[in-house]
Copies of this chain bind each other. A is one copy, B any other.
Amino acid sequence: MSESQTILLFKCLSDATRLQLVKALADGPKYVELLSELLERTPSTISFHLKKLEEAGLVSMHKEQYYAVATLNRQILDQQLFSLICSPGEQLDMQAEREQQYREKVLQNLFEYGKLKTIPVQRKKRRIVLEEIAKRFKPGRNYAEKEVNLIIADFHDDFCTLRRELIAEGIMARENGVYWLKG
């Protein structure tokens, strides 16, 4: 179901009068004037709302003698709500993609000519930066502190802060002055 359709459906159900209409029609098909009496609204108002419900596919109208008879499409209502509950994460790929775009945007803003302009305070951004820096280290290999400093200094003068943060964030680990990539 498309997003606009979903919104249409919920819009229909988010109005007191239309909800009353749905309830009244759950009991059986009814024509406009009767609904008008039951809900204490003018026929024009009822007509207005029935049109909306019809657009959302919740009721269908047909003529019978004089009357414009409205019938509730119960199966469609159930089906649509149900599909919403049971919908798998169709959107997750899109989501991941946008997350990736966001990371790249952050990196573009913070790096210039391969140098880190400032160390971001915002944790999420800092994390992204640190993960970027971590790419310079090979998994499984050990590094002396001097090596680590040298690599990090490529990005920013304050290699001490960055080195500390790499540990704090759990991206790297240290023991007896030896560093390695974690994970």
Binding site for B on A (CB under 8 A): 3, 6-7, 10-11, 13-16, 19, 23-24, 26-27, 31, 33-34, 37-38, 65-67, 77-78, 81-82, 84-85, 89, 91-92, 95, 98-99, 102, 105, 122-124
Contact = CB atoms under 8 A, between A and B. Distances in A.
Interface of A is mostly: helix
Contacts of A105: 37
A95 B7 contact: no
Contacts of A14: 7, 10-11, 13-14
Nearest to A90: B23
A7 B11 contact: no
Contacts of A102: 34, 37-38
Contacts of A10: 10-11, 13-14
A85 B78 CA distance: 6
6 contacts: A3-B16, A7-B14, A23-B95, A38-B102, A78-B85, A81-B85
Contacts of A26: 89, 91
Nearest to A74: B85
Nearest to A34: B124
A124 B99 CA distance: 60
A10 B113 CA distance: 50
Contacts of A33: 122
Nearest to A89: B26
B19 A3 contact: yes
Contacts of A38: 98-99, 102
A7 to B, nearest CB: 6
